[in-house]
Amino acid sequence: MKTERQVSFERDGFIVCKEVFTKEEMKTLLEDIKEAQLRDDNDTLTRGSMIFRISIFFKSLKLQQFISKQKIIDLLKDLAGPDIWVRWDQAVAKGPGADTFPWHQDNNYSRLQDTHYQFWVALTESNENNGGLWLQPGSHKQSLPYRRLGHEVVYDGVPESPILITAEPGDVVIFSSFTLHSTTPNITQETRWAYVVEYMSLDHYDPYVEPPYFVVARDGKSSPEFVETYRGKENMMNRLKYQLINWNPDKLVPSLIRKVKQTFGSPSGSR
């Protein structure tokens, strides 16, 4: 039987989890994020006074410990399954005067076919005045039309009945990477911070992320480790799916031959 959370997630494309972390924990997490981002100033995407610090967990043991907490795995495992890795993380600072971040599905940024699970944690208060998060319930059931707008990949339509998520530090929203979302302008004098971690099932494949891969859970238990490969990557159907999408016959044929040789061995005399 499905849990209430599974039913909500399947229906709406997101769940809101209140007070998952304390305000004190969020203060520490924000300090850890700032410390991690100081180590690498390159991985920054800036949109006016909206700043994204990306892939920061790689250089921070404290962030690796945070994103592999059993508490997080317990929230994710009945949605993503018991074996999970992290494909991406980003800290988002929405400063005073920051503009709307337009409606989008994250799969249009990640270019992935499968759902990944967006774990959005409020590090500060988040509301309608300071760049709060809006979601369109039910929009995760299909891939929607989009257009490119500069660096953005923006939904080509108008959401029918969006809802605002008002959050306190420590509140979490888990949403599908197909769920339409947006953030509105920050008209206050304070920066609104969120930390977004993108989790994936170990059965799914991201061909655009390079090793090492950060596995956070096996069998529903926190078990952080960096690995060179994972079963979703080794799955031939997964690879084929992306090779067909990014169709390039010059690459497809040699890699298929390699895989066949690995599986069945090379005929004697050949290499």
Ligand X SMILES: O=C(O)CCC(=O)C(=O)O
Residues lying near ligand X in the complex (CB under 6 A) are found at 92, 94, 101, 106, 133, 181, 183, 194, 196
Taking the complex as a whole, how short is the minimal distance between the CB of residue 167 and ligand X, in angstroms? 10
Shortest Cβ 182–ligand X spacing (Å): 7
- Comparing CB distances to ligand X, the nearer of 175 and 230 is 175
In one-letter notation, the amino acid at residue 231 is R
CB of 132 to ligand X, least distance (A): 9
| Nearest in space to 186 (alpha carbons), one of 257, 130, 103 | 130
Report the residue number, 12 or 106, with the smaller CB distance to ligand X. 106
User: Measured from the CB atom, is 169 or 243 closer to ligand X?
Assistant: 169
What's the Cα-to-Cα distance from 238 to each of 111, 264, 268, rounded to whole Å?
14, 19, 30
Q: Which is nearer to ligand X, 106 or 171 (CB)?
A: 106
Closer residue to ligand X (CB): 53 or 239 = 53
Minimum Å gap between C-beta 72 and ligand X is 17
Q: Which residue is nearest to ligand X (CB)?
A: 194
Considering the complex, what minimum distance in angstroms separates the CB of residue 229 from ligand X? 27
Given a contact cutoff of 8 angstroms between Cβ atoms, the answer to whether 63 and 38 are in contact is no
Which tokens go with 88?
Answer: 């991406």
Our CB check for ligand X shows the closer of 185 and 230 to be 185
Give just the sign of the alpha carbon dihedral 45, 194, 210, 141. negative
Q: How far is the CB of 171 from ligand X (least distance, A)?
A: 12
Nearer to ligand X, 29 or 215 (CB): 29
**In the complex, least distance from residue 43 CB atom to ligand X, rounded to whole angstroms:** 14
CA distances for 27 relative to 23, 34, 44, 84, 123, angstroms: 6, 11, 21, 26, 7
Rounded to 10 deg, the angle between the 249-264 and 236-245 helix axes is: 170
